């Protein structure tokens, strides 16, 4: 449960970083009056916010697939691993 809550906290922090106006965005906007560097939440429909999260999710999904694609082929081999036994160390 702790790992699940930790990953949820990380994803919420990333999402919040995209919605809130960062210090860098404020400086850029003040210096060059650049609307692109403004916060993503200024878009009334939040298209860029949801779009950027979708792109990040796609990249993470493709990376996950590349990392673990060989496990499907090795499934039978991995299922045949003998059961391990834990022996409590003898203390004197």
- Looking at the chain, how many residues does it have? 92
Give the predicted TM-score (pTM) of the model.
0.47
Report residue 82 as tokens: 């003998």
Query: Looking at the predicted structure, is the pLDDT value of residue 2 above 60?
Result: yes
Q: Which of 44, 63, 59 is nearest to 14 (CA)?
A: 59
d(CA 39, CA 28): 11
pLDDT for the residue numbered 11:
84
Domain extents in the chain: 2-69
Which range among 21-25, 34-38, 84-88 has the greatest average pLDDT? Answer: 84-88
Residue 38: which pLDDT band, with cuts at 50, 70 and 90? low
């Amino acid at each position: 449960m702790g790992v699940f809550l930790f990953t949820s906290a990380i994803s919420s922090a990333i999402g919040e970083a995209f919605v809130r106006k960062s210090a860098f965005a404020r400086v850029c906007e003040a210096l060059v009056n650049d609307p692109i560097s403004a916060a993503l939440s200024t878009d009334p429909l939040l298209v860029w916010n949801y779009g950027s999260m979708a792109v990040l999710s796609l990249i993470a999904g493709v990376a996950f697939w590349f990392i673990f694609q060989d496990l499907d082929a090795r499934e039978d081999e991995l299922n045949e691993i003998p059961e391990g036994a834990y022996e409590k160390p003898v203390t004197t």
